[in-house]
DNA sequence: CGGTATCCACGGCGATACTG
DNA sequence: CAGTATCGCCGTGGATACCG
Protein backbone atom coordinates (compact mmCIF):
# COMPACT_ATOMS: atom_id res chain seq x y z
CA UNK A 1 0.00 0.00 0.00
CA UNK A 2 2.33 2.63 -1.25
CA UNK A 3 0.19 5.71 -1.54
CA UNK A 4 -0.83 5.64 2.09
CA UNK A 5 2.73 5.25 3.19
CA UNK A 6 3.97 8.28 1.31
CA UNK A 7 5.02 10.70 3.98
CA UNK A 8 6.48 14.16 3.82
CA UNK A 9 6.88 15.52 0.39
CA UNK A 10 4.64 12.95 -1.18
CA UNK A 11 1.55 13.75 0.78
CA UNK A 12 -0.45 16.84 -0.11
CA UNK A 13 1.31 19.15 2.32
CA UNK A 14 -0.90 21.96 3.47
CA UNK A 15 -3.79 22.77 1.25
CA UNK A 16 -4.60 25.89 3.23
CA UNK A 17 -1.39 27.46 2.01
CA UNK A 18 -1.21 28.80 -1.54
CA UNK A 19 2.19 27.24 -2.08
CA UNK A 20 1.29 24.03 -0.32
CA UNK A 21 3.18 25.07 2.77
CA UNK A 22 6.24 23.22 4.05
CA UNK A 23 7.55 20.06 2.57
CA UNK A 24 7.62 21.53 -0.90
CA UNK A 25 10.65 20.85 -3.02
CA UNK A 26 10.98 24.36 -4.37
CA UNK A 27 11.58 25.39 -0.81
CA UNK A 28 15.38 25.28 -0.44
CA UNK A 29 15.01 24.19 3.18
CA UNK A 30 12.71 21.28 2.42
CA UNK A 31 14.46 18.19 3.81
CA UNK A 32 13.87 16.17 0.69
CA UNK A 33 15.17 19.00 -1.47
CA UNK A 34 18.35 19.20 0.60
CA UNK A 35 19.00 15.49 0.20
CA UNK A 36 18.04 15.42 -3.46
CA UNK A 37 20.38 18.30 -4.20
CA UNK A 38 23.15 16.36 -2.54
CA UNK A 39 22.75 12.94 -4.11
CA UNK A 40 21.41 14.29 -7.38
CA UNK A 41 24.77 15.61 -8.42
CA UNK A 42 27.18 13.63 -10.49
CA UNK A 43 29.70 12.29 -8.00
CA UNK A 44 28.42 12.20 -4.42
CA UNK A 45 26.80 8.78 -4.68
CA UNK A 46 29.94 7.36 -6.22
CA UNK A 47 32.06 8.81 -3.46
CA UNK A 48 29.83 7.22 -0.84
CA UNK A 49 30.16 3.93 -2.64
CA UNK A 50 33.92 4.25 -2.88
CA UNK A 51 34.27 5.04 0.82
CA UNK A 52 31.81 2.39 2.01
CA UNK A 53 34.62 -0.10 2.62
CA UNK A 54 36.80 2.35 4.48
CA UNK A 55 38.81 5.58 4.25
CA UNK A 56 40.70 6.54 1.13
CA UNK A 57 43.23 9.16 0.15
CA UNK A 58 42.44 11.78 -2.46
CA UNK A 59 44.21 10.05 -5.32
CA UNK A 60 42.88 6.61 -4.40
CA UNK A 61 39.41 8.06 -4.30
CA UNK A 62 39.93 9.68 -7.65
CA UNK A 63 41.08 6.43 -9.20
CA UNK A 64 38.22 4.49 -7.60
CA UNK A 65 35.58 6.89 -8.77
CA UNK A 66 37.11 7.27 -12.19
CA UNK A 67 37.03 10.11 -14.67
CA UNK A 68 36.53 12.98 -12.28
CA UNK A 69 38.56 16.16 -12.55
CA UNK A 70 40.45 17.07 -9.37
CA UNK A 71 38.69 20.37 -9.07
CA UNK A 72 35.28 18.75 -9.23
CA UNK A 73 36.23 16.00 -6.80
CA UNK A 74 37.44 18.64 -4.37
CA UNK A 75 34.16 20.52 -4.75
CA UNK A 76 32.20 17.35 -4.10
CA UNK A 77 34.27 16.39 -1.07
CA UNK A 78 34.06 19.87 0.43
CA UNK A 79 30.30 19.89 0.07
CA UNK A 80 30.04 16.47 1.68
CA UNK A 81 32.34 17.49 4.50
CA UNK A 82 30.33 20.65 4.98
CA UNK A 83 27.16 18.60 5.32
CA UNK A 84 28.74 16.18 7.77
CA UNK A 85 28.77 13.19 5.41
CA UNK A 86 32.51 12.67 5.63
CA UNK A 87 35.58 13.75 7.51
CA UNK A 88 38.77 15.10 6.03
CA UNK A 89 41.94 14.26 7.92
CA UNK A 90 45.20 15.98 7.03
CA UNK A 91 48.44 14.33 8.10
CA UNK A 92 51.28 16.79 8.61
CA UNK A 93 53.92 15.10 6.55
CA UNK A 94 55.73 15.29 3.25
CA UNK A 95 54.45 14.32 0.80
CA UNK A 96 51.05 15.36 2.10
CA UNK A 97 48.43 12.78 3.00
CA UNK A 98 44.73 13.42 3.33
CA UNK A 99 42.23 10.76 4.31
CA UNK A 100 38.56 10.88 3.58
CA UNK A 101 36.20 8.76 5.62
CA UNK A 102 32.43 8.52 5.85
CA UNK A 103 30.80 9.68 9.04
CA UNK A 104 27.94 7.75 10.59
CA UNK A 105 25.63 10.12 8.77
CA UNK A 106 27.36 9.35 5.50
CA UNK A 107 27.13 5.62 6.09
CA UNK A 108 23.48 5.85 7.03
CA UNK A 109 22.72 7.68 3.79
CA UNK A 110 23.89 4.52 2.07
CA UNK A 111 20.65 2.83 3.15
CA UNK A 112 18.20 4.96 1.19
CA UNK A 113 20.63 5.05 -1.71
CA UNK A 114 20.78 1.26 -1.75
CA UNK A 115 16.98 1.15 -1.86
CA UNK A 116 17.03 3.51 -4.79
CA UNK A 117 19.75 1.48 -6.49
CA UNK A 118 17.78 -1.72 -6.05
CA UNK A 119 14.73 -0.10 -7.55
CA UNK A 120 16.82 1.28 -10.39
CA UNK A 121 18.32 -2.08 -11.27
CA UNK A 122 14.93 -3.74 -11.18
CA UNK A 123 13.09 -1.17 -13.25
CA UNK A 124 15.62 0.45 -15.53
CA UNK A 125 14.71 -2.03 -18.24
CA UNK A 126 11.11 -0.83 -18.19
CA UNK A 127 12.22 2.78 -18.34
CA UNK A 128 14.59 2.22 -21.22
CA UNK A 129 11.95 0.25 -23.09
CA UNK A 130 9.44 3.05 -22.56
CA UNK A 131 11.95 5.48 -23.99
CA UNK A 132 12.43 3.39 -27.09
CA UNK A 133 8.69 3.10 -27.59
CA UNK A 134 8.29 6.82 -27.18
CA UNK A 135 10.95 7.58 -29.75
CA UNK A 136 9.60 4.97 -32.13
CA UNK A 137 6.14 6.47 -31.84
CA UNK A 138 7.36 9.84 -33.05
CA UNK A 139 8.53 8.36 -36.32
CA UNK B 1 24.80 -3.72 8.80
CA UNK B 2 24.50 -1.16 6.09
CA UNK B 3 27.80 -1.42 4.29
CA UNK B 4 27.33 -5.10 3.59
CA UNK B 5 23.94 -4.45 2.11
CA UNK B 6 25.13 -1.85 -0.35
CA UNK B 7 24.51 -3.37 -3.73
CA UNK B 8 25.00 -2.08 -7.24
CA UNK B 9 26.59 1.27 -7.46
CA UNK B 10 27.72 1.24 -3.87
CA UNK B 11 29.88 -1.81 -4.10
CA UNK B 12 33.24 -1.53 -5.82
CA UNK B 13 32.04 -2.52 -9.27
CA UNK B 14 34.75 -4.12 -11.33
CA UNK B 15 38.23 -3.40 -10.21
CA UNK B 16 39.69 -5.05 -13.28
CA UNK B 17 38.28 -2.27 -15.41
CA UNK B 18 40.02 1.10 -15.44
CA UNK B 19 36.73 2.91 -15.14
CA UNK B 20 35.31 0.47 -12.65
CA UNK B 21 33.15 -1.20 -15.24
CA UNK B 22 29.35 -1.21 -15.07
CA UNK B 23 27.42 0.32 -12.26
CA UNK B 24 29.31 3.54 -12.47
CA UNK B 25 27.34 6.74 -12.27
CA UNK B 26 29.25 8.55 -14.96
CA UNK B 27 28.00 5.91 -17.32
CA UNK B 28 24.79 7.41 -18.73
CA UNK B 29 23.24 3.95 -18.89
CA UNK B 30 23.96 3.09 -15.28
CA UNK B 31 20.57 2.30 -13.72
CA UNK B 32 21.23 4.43 -10.68
CA UNK B 33 22.32 7.33 -12.87
CA UNK B 34 19.14 7.08 -14.90
CA UNK B 35 16.97 7.21 -11.80
CA UNK B 36 19.03 9.92 -10.14
CA UNK B 37 18.83 12.08 -13.23
CA UNK B 38 15.08 11.70 -13.14
CA UNK B 39 14.34 12.40 -9.49
CA UNK B 40 17.24 14.78 -9.07
CA UNK B 41 15.57 17.47 -11.09
CA UNK B 42 13.46 20.16 -9.54
CA UNK B 43 9.91 19.00 -10.12
CA UNK B 44 9.57 15.28 -10.80
CA UNK B 45 9.32 14.24 -7.16
CA UNK B 46 6.69 16.89 -6.54
CA UNK B 47 4.69 15.71 -9.52
CA UNK B 48 4.77 12.14 -8.23
CA UNK B 49 3.56 13.40 -4.88
CA UNK B 50 0.80 15.44 -6.45
CA UNK B 51 -0.43 12.52 -8.52
CA UNK B 52 -0.16 9.95 -5.73
CA UNK B 53 -3.83 10.41 -4.80
CA UNK B 54 -5.09 10.18 -8.35
CA UNK B 55 -5.06 11.79 -11.81
CA UNK B 56 -4.98 15.53 -12.26
CA UNK B 57 -5.38 17.95 -15.13
CA UNK B 58 -2.57 20.21 -16.22
CA UNK B 59 -3.78 23.29 -14.41
CA UNK B 60 -4.69 21.39 -11.25
CA UNK B 61 -1.25 19.84 -11.27
CA UNK B 62 0.31 23.25 -11.71
CA UNK B 63 -1.57 24.67 -8.78
CA UNK B 64 -0.80 21.66 -6.61
CA UNK B 65 2.90 21.73 -7.34
CA UNK B 66 3.08 25.49 -7.05
CA UNK B 67 5.39 27.99 -8.62
CA UNK B 68 6.32 26.07 -11.74
CA UNK B 69 6.32 27.73 -15.14
CA UNK B 70 4.09 26.01 -17.70
CA UNK B 71 6.99 25.36 -20.02
CA UNK B 72 8.98 23.65 -17.31
CA UNK B 73 6.02 21.60 -16.11
CA UNK B 74 5.44 20.45 -19.67
CA UNK B 75 9.08 19.47 -19.98
CA UNK B 76 8.90 17.52 -16.74
CA UNK B 77 5.69 15.76 -17.70
CA UNK B 78 6.97 14.86 -21.16
CA UNK B 79 10.11 13.37 -19.69
CA UNK B 80 8.10 11.36 -17.18
CA UNK B 81 5.73 10.16 -19.87
CA UNK B 82 8.68 9.23 -22.03
CA UNK B 83 10.10 7.12 -19.22
CA UNK B 84 6.80 5.42 -18.54
CA UNK B 85 6.19 7.04 -15.16
CA UNK B 86 2.88 8.57 -16.13
CA UNK B 87 0.25 8.57 -18.82
CA UNK B 88 -1.12 11.56 -20.65
CA UNK B 89 -4.73 11.31 -21.71
CA UNK B 90 -6.21 13.86 -24.08
CA UNK B 91 -9.99 14.22 -24.19
CA UNK B 92 -11.29 15.46 -27.52
CA UNK B 93 -13.49 18.26 -26.30
CA UNK B 94 -13.70 22.02 -26.01
CA UNK B 95 -12.25 23.41 -23.86
CA UNK B 96 -9.47 20.84 -24.00
CA UNK B 97 -8.91 18.45 -21.13
CA UNK B 98 -5.74 16.51 -20.46
CA UNK B 99 -5.35 14.10 -17.57
CA UNK B 100 -2.09 13.00 -16.09
CA UNK B 101 -1.93 9.79 -14.08
CA UNK B 102 0.88 7.77 -12.58
CA UNK B 103 1.56 4.39 -14.09
CA UNK B 104 2.37 1.40 -11.91
CA UNK B 105 6.00 2.20 -12.49
CA UNK B 106 5.44 5.76 -11.35
CA UNK B 107 3.62 4.62 -8.23
CA UNK B 108 6.32 2.09 -7.42
CA UNK B 109 8.97 4.79 -7.61
CA UNK B 110 7.14 6.40 -4.72
CA UNK B 111 8.50 3.67 -2.46
CA UNK B 112 12.20 4.49 -2.73
CA UNK B 113 11.37 8.19 -2.69
CA UNK B 114 9.45 7.78 0.55
CA UNK B 115 12.47 6.03 2.07
CA UNK B 116 14.63 8.92 1.01
CA UNK B 117 12.11 11.41 2.35
CA UNK B 118 11.99 9.64 5.70
CA UNK B 119 15.76 9.71 5.91
CA UNK B 120 15.78 13.36 4.92
CA UNK B 121 13.30 14.37 7.59
CA UNK B 122 15.17 12.44 10.23
CA UNK B 123 18.63 13.70 9.39
CA UNK B 124 18.21 17.14 7.84
CA UNK B 125 18.73 18.69 11.24
CA UNK B 126 22.15 17.09 11.50
CA UNK B 127 23.07 18.25 8.02
CA UNK B 128 21.96 21.81 8.61
CA UNK B 129 23.81 21.90 11.93
CA UNK B 130 26.95 20.61 10.23
CA UNK B 131 26.64 23.40 7.70
CA UNK B 132 26.39 26.01 10.39
CA UNK B 133 29.43 24.60 12.19
CA UNK B 134 31.39 24.59 8.98
CA UNK B 135 30.55 28.18 8.22
CA UNK B 136 31.27 29.22 11.80
CA UNK B 137 34.64 27.54 11.65
CA UNK B 138 35.71 29.61 8.67
CA UNK B 139 35.27 32.79 10.65
C1' DC C 1 -7.55 25.03 -21.11
C1' DG C 2 -3.28 23.49 -22.20
C1' DG C 3 0.03 24.40 -23.92
C1' DT C 4 4.45 26.91 -27.41
C1' DA C 5 7.91 30.35 -28.55
C1' DT C 6 11.60 33.11 -27.29
C1' DC C 7 15.05 34.89 -24.58
C1' DC C 8 18.25 34.65 -20.95
C1' DA C 9 20.58 33.99 -16.25
C1' DC C 10 22.86 30.76 -13.54
C1' DG C 11 25.41 26.93 -11.89
C1' DG C 12 27.44 22.33 -12.65
C1' DC C 13 30.84 20.31 -14.76
C1' DG C 14 35.00 19.57 -17.57
C1' DA C 15 39.82 20.56 -19.73
C1' DT C 16 44.05 22.36 -18.97
C1' DA C 17 47.69 24.27 -16.56
C1' DC C 18 50.03 25.30 -12.49
C1' DT C 19 51.65 24.98 -7.19
C1' DG C 20 53.01 24.38 -1.91
C1' DC D 1 50.44 14.22 -3.20
C1' DA D 2 46.72 17.05 -3.01
C1' DG D 3 45.11 20.23 -4.48
C1' DT D 4 44.13 25.63 -6.96
C1' DA D 5 43.50 28.81 -10.94
C1' DT D 6 41.38 29.91 -15.08
C1' DC D 7 38.43 29.43 -18.85
C1' DG D 8 34.42 28.13 -21.06
C1' DC D 9 30.59 24.99 -22.50
C1' DC D 10 25.97 23.80 -22.03
C1' DG D 11 21.74 22.18 -19.88
C1' DT D 12 18.22 23.40 -16.47
C1' DG D 13 15.00 26.25 -15.45
C1' DG D 14 12.66 30.91 -15.01
C1' DA D 15 10.08 35.24 -17.21
C1' DT D 16 7.25 36.76 -20.52
C1' DA D 17 4.38 36.63 -24.34
C1' DC D 18 1.53 34.37 -27.50
C1' DC D 19 -1.63 30.50 -29.67
C1' DG D 20 -5.26 26.65 -31.27
Residue A98: predicted pLDDT: 98
Looking at chain A from residue 87 to 106, which residues have their Cβ under 8 Å from any Cβ of chain B?
105
Domain extents in chain B? 31-138
Of B36, B53, B134, the CB nearest to A12: B53
- Segment A58-99, tens digit of pLDDT: 999 999 999 999 999 999 999 999 999 999 999 999 999 999
A11 and B49 within 8 Å at the Cβ level: the answer is yes
Q: Which residue has the higher pLDDT, B15 or A111?
A: A111
Q: Which residues touch strand D (CB under 7 A)?
A: A 26, 57-60, 69-71, 74, 77, 88, 95-98; B 41-43, 68-72, 75-76, 95-96
Residue A135: predicted pLDDT: 82
Residue B3: predicted pLDDT: 32
DSSP helix/strand/coil, B57: strand
Query: Helices in chain A by DSSP H: which ranges?
Result: 2-5, 31-39, 44-51, 58-65, 70-82, 104-138
A119 and B111 within 8 Å at the Cβ level: the answer is yes
Cβ-proximal residues to B83 (8 Å cutoff; 6+ apart), any chain: A127, A130, A131, B38
Asked if residue A20 has pLDDT above 70, the reply is no
Supply the pTM of this predicted model.
0.87
Indicate the burial class of A67 (C-beta count within 10 angstroms; 0-12, 13-18, 19 or more): middle
The arrangement of secondary structure in A31-138, i.e. its CATH architecture, is Orthogonal Bundle (1.10)
Phi, then psi, of A86 in degrees rounded to 5: -150, 165
A20 and B64 within 8 Å at the Cβ level: the answer is yes
Backbone conformation region of residue B12, classed left if phi is above 0, alpha if psi is from -120 to 50, else beta: beta
Asked if residue B75 has pLDDT above 90, the reply is yes
Amino acid sequence: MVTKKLGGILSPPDLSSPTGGRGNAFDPDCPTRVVLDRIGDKWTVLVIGALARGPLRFTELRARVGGVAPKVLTQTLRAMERDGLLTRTVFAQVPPRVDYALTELGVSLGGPIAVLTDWAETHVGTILAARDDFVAQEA
